[in-house]
Amino acid sequence: MLAKLSIPLEWNGYGIVVLIPLMVIGSVQWFKGGKTNICYNAVDRNVESGNGDKIAMYWEGNEPGQDGKLTYSELLEKVCQVNACSCPKKLPKVKL
């Protein structure tokens, strides 16, 4: 089942084993050795596949009337803005 779920994602490198349950020592590893970009899979791919004008998310602020929605294209633009601010800093890679 998990192997089927991983197929639609864009992977930079596949792990050989999908699940390694080591419950005796309290350790479970999912997609060991796999590398992916979650933001690309959640946002960029939707824009690339022609869904840029569809709603990606609704948000609500703390005050009444503070709410809105973002399309995938708008969300990608905001992600790029945040990325441009963080580029000078090296962000650590997250291991799966």
Domain range annotation of the chain:
1-36, 37-87
Q: What is the distance, to the nearest Å, from the Cα of residue 52 to the centroid of all Cα atoms in its chain?
A: 16
pLDDT of 19: 54
| pLDDT for res 39 | 86
pLDDT at 16: 46
- pLDDT score recorded for residue 70: 96
pLDDT at residue 72, rounded to an integer = 96
Note the pTM of the prediction, 2 decimals: 0.61
Q: Strand pairing of 11-13 and 35-36?
A: antiparallel
**Per-run averaged pLDDT (10 residues), the chain, 96 residues:** 54 55 63 77 92 95 94 94 68 60
Question: Which helix (DSSP H) or strand (DSSP E) does residue 57 occupy?
Answer: strand 55-60
Place of tokens 């503070």: 66
pLDDT at residue 94, as a whole number: 60
Give the pLDDT score at 35: 74
